[in-house]
Every structure is written in C-alpha cells, then in structure tokens.
Amino acid sequence: MSKIALKNAKIYVEKGVFAQALYAEDGIIRAVGKNEDVLPLCGDAQIIDCGGKTVVPGFNDSHMHLLMVGIGMAQADITKATSADHLVEIGKAFLESHPQARKRGIQAVGWNQDLFVGDKRLPTRWDLDKISADIPIILERVCGHVVTVNSKVLELMGVTKDSPQFPGGTWEKDDNGEPNGILTELTCYRANAVFQPYSDEEYTQMFLMAAEHALSRGVTSVQSNDVGSAPMPLDTVFRVIRDIYANNRCPLRYRHQMTFPSPEAFARWAESDKKQYLCENDRLTLGPLKLYKDGSLGARTATMRQEYRDDPGNFGVEALSDAEMTAFCALADRYDMQVVTHAIGDKAISDTVGNYEAILREGKNPLRHGLIHCQITDLPLLERIGRDDLQAMVQPVFLDYDMHGVLSRCGEALSSTSYAFASLKKLGAQLSFGTDSPVEDCDPFANLYTAITRKDHTGAPEGGFFPQECVDIYDAVDAYTLGSAHAEFREQDKGRLKPGYLADFVVLDTDLFTCDLMDIRSANPVLTVVGGEVAWRKDTL
C-alpha cells in the first residue's frame, strides 16, 4: 500500500481556500487540512516537508499531441538556424550526440532562409553533404513545401541529371544541370520515403521522452491526439501506447483523442473490440473522436464568415465538408461517443456548433462535445456555445503570437470578442486549458500567464490585449485542472486536492497566487506526483 503525505505546504483547495497538509493512500487523497489534524493519520507514510511551498493539482492538458512532441524531440532542432553553414553545424552536432542517427540518418523540420543573417540562399545538397554523404539527410523548410536533401537521398531516390521529374513536384538543378538537392511539393514525400520507418521501441523512447518532459513541467494528465495525427498507421499508435502502459513504463495519465480518415473508418473502429487498445493500467483511456474543421489563423486558412481584412476574397479553407461532419457526428451519437473538433475561425465554430446542436439530447450535451481552439467569436456565438454547454478547450498561450496578427486579419470589433476566455466561462461553456504541443511547449506556466494577463512574453501591451477577457489565477488553475478533468468526465475525482480525489499534484517553487504576474511565466515544479507516487522531482526539494 503506497502512502505519501505533505506537510508545511500551501495547498490549493479551491478559490481562496488553502490547506497545510495532505495525506494520500493507494493513489487517493484521504485527508487535507492542518498539519496537526492530518499528520497523525499518516502512520509510516513518506512525509515531504514542503517548507511553505505552494501545491496545486497536477495540470491536465486538454489537447496536445504527445507522441509528436517526442518525435520532434528526437530530431535535430533547425528552427533557429541563421545560415546554410549554421545548418551544417547543427547537423554535425546532432550526429555527435545522437548515435542512432548515424545509422538511420537525419530528418528535421523548420529552417527558414528568411531568418538567415546575411546570405539568404537556400541550402543545397553540397551543404548537407558536409554533415554526411553516407547517411540520408533531409531538412524540411518551415512551410513544409520545400526540402533540401543530401546526395545520399538523391541516390536512394534514383535522381540523376538525366532523370525525368516526378508528378506533382520538382527536383531543382544547379547551373550545370545537376540536381542541387532542393525538392518541392510531392517530390518531398518521395524523399521522406527512403528513410527506414521507426521501430516500436524507437517510438516508445520518443513517447517516454515527451512524457518525462511533461511531468517535469507539472503536467500529470494529457488528452492527446496522436491516433490519426502522428505520421504512422493508427494501429501502430494504439499498439505502441498500449504496450507502454501495459508494461508500466509511463506514470503520465494519457487519454486518446482519435482522428479517423473517414466516417467509415471511424464506424469500423467503433464496432471493434476496445480491449485491444487498452490494458490493465487505468492511466491509459480512450477518449473522444477528434475532427478538424478548418486550418489556422496564421496561415489564413481558418474559415471566416467575413473575408480576411488583410487578404480580401479569402474566407479560409474548410478541412471537413458539412456532409462528412454530419456523418461523423451521427455515428458518434449512435455510438455514444464524445466529439471534439478543431475549429478556429468563426465560420468553422458556428458550423461545428450547428453540427453539435443536431445531436444534442433534449438540448443538453451529456456526451460533452467540444470545440478545440475556439478562437474567433462574436458575442452571439459565445452565447450559443454557452447555452449548448459545450466544452471550450482553449490554448491561451496562442495569444502570445496571435495578438500581433488578429487585429489586421479580423478587425477591432471581432478581435475584442475573440480568445474570449472570461466570456466563455461566464456564459456557461466548460472551459479547459491545453497547449496543442508541439505547436507550443506543453509548459503550463506560460499558458497561465497569458490567460491571466493577456500580455505577450515581453509584457506588452500594457494593460493586456482586450483585458476584459482576462481570467484570474484561480479560474486559470481551475480550467487547467478541474476544467480539463470535466472534459474527460473525471471532475468527480480528478483536478482538486480534496479527499476522494486522485493524488496527482505538483509542488512549485513559486506561489502562483501571490507572486508578481510576470513571475508566473518562469515558475517551476520541484516535485510532480501522480497517483500518490513521485513521477518526477528536481534534484533538491
């Protein structure tokens, strides 16, 4: 029987209420209160003296992609390269520190010659051959439409100066007509196809690396969309993750958000035996169907009711037709499945709300259908989301970047009611926080800071971006814990530090409730506990 206790802590219980001590047995909190009331119950428990530090429930990221975080962590980080030569340096250093890459090769994403200092020429095969000409190397431009490969990849693709072009893409030539290693569009896929697929064990290592990172940031639960989102077959994702939990290799709680290529594929899955995706370990659970309704605001592909102010005639790009969305929702309703949908633009959101309204039950939302992102809204739309009791699974940290673009894209009036976290809550939506990692780091503290201040990481603008939509620290922490638990039907035993709840909590080096707001951003966990067991700790507590 595992026992753990905290004393001399500042334990967040609920708005304005704090306790000093906590005792948990078998992963469940049994007592919370004053030292003198709780400690006599603890028997031979491991007792941690928190020395006055603040303790909050473990953070629960209501939408992210954990396996994709791991895949990214296993690759070279080329996003900050300042020249073609710098790319070579990064590649060489990566090979030094990643022995497995010396066999498999290097696949990495994110260079952008616009950010190069001085010479802004595109990198070529001759640059990449300086990293290695013996193993395949592919470095993808940040846009995803252009890659540079080394000579080994060209050789494996069979491309020589006399080769014909492939359909749907190009390989580019230098002045002598030699392929220079720059490929575009569909030809990029052919280059990626020369790499060995990762093994289950390699995916496992990536998943565990990402989980360790999340735990080190105080995240104890993730609602993660890897099925249908990571670049591998759905069965592989299910199998790799199930085996990790079956072998008790990961303390982080994981709930699947699942994307299927078609309503038919979803129906086949819904009819299948769910036992094959799960194991004895209840930290792994199956969650909602995850759909994509539109693109992003940054790329102006979020679907809008009015044209983009800074791109007349553009209303965005619909990712899922109304017919398909209707078919998905009807099936989900038949199988009693929750649906959560990526919807950013106001048209995508209102269309999705319409699809949900068709499957509400007597006007209520017992399956807890939800909107992921839910960014661009006007007041009537916010009221409708609240009235329908929908989940609003938002990423406040997106504002750090988006506050600099939303005005020019959507105008003042619509911007003032967008990213409307306070209104969503006030109007009755079920608010939860996440990061969409790897889009943003899965760090809760930058996310909390942005939700509370609506300022970017430099502290601008003074007073915050439409500050009427700021939430206070209590509502922000609640959205990230109890709110996220509600999104997964667990609010009765998850997301609070009270008797009967799961012993998932984080001891912090900063008092989020009294510190300077800027300091919230740089807060750190010192101890992360999941199910009453230490899952991560800083060297010294």
Query: Which residue's CB is nearer to Zn ion, number 144 or number 500?
Result: 144
Query: Which residue's CB is nearer to Zn ion, number 124 or number 225?
Result: 225
Query: Which residue's CB is nearer to Zn ion, number 88 or number 286?
Result: 286
* Rounded least distance, CB 341 to Zn ion, Å: 11
Bridge partners of 530, per DSSP, are 533
Query: Which residue's CB is nearer to Zn ion, number 436 or number 456?
Result: 436
* Rounded least distance, CB 434 to Zn ion, Å: 8
Chain center to CA of 160:
41
Q: Using alpha carbons only, what angle is made at residue 93 by residues 90 and 97, rounded to the nearest 5 degrees?
A: 135
* Rounded least distance, CB 329 to Zn ion, Å: 19
Tell me the pairing of strands 54-57 and 505-508: antiparallel
Query: Which residue's CB is nearer to Zn ion, number 224 or number 450?
Result: 224
Asked whether the beta carbons of 307 and 408 are under 8 A apart, the reply is no
Query: Which residue's CB is nearer to Zn ion, number 400 or number 475?
Result: 400
* Rounded least distance, CB 227 to Zn ion, Å: 12
- Residue 407's CB: how many other CB atoms inside 10 A? 18
Query: Which residue's CB is nearer to Zn ion, number 123 or number 287?
Result: 287
Alpha-carbon torsion, ordered 182, 187, 191, 192, to 10 deg: 120
* Rounded least distance, CB 437 to Zn ion, Å: 9
Binding footprint of Zn ion, residue count (CB under 5 A): 1
Chain center to CA of 97:
26
Q: Using CA atoms, how far apart are residues 195 and 110, in angstroms rounded to an integer?
A: 18
Q: Using CA atoms, how far apart are residues 289 and 344, in angstroms rounded to an integer?
A: 18
Question: Which region, left, alpha or beta, applies to residue 184 given φ > 0 means left and ψ of -120 to 50 means alpha?
Answer: beta
Q: What is the 3-state secondary structure (H, E, C) of 482-506?
A: HHHHHHCCCCCCCCCCCCCCECCEE
* Rounded least distance, CB 139 to Zn ion, Å: 24
- Per-residue binding string, Zn ion, 424-453, x by CB under 5 A, is ------------x-----------------
The full DSSP string for 253-288 is EEEEEE--SSHHHHHHHHHS-GGGG--S-TTEEEEE
Q: Using CA atoms, how far apart are residues 164 and 471, in angstroms rounded to an integer?
A: 59
The residue nearest Zn ion at its CB is: 436
* Rounded least distance, CB 376 to Zn ion, Å: 17
Q: Which residues bind Zn ion (CB under 5 A)?
A: 436
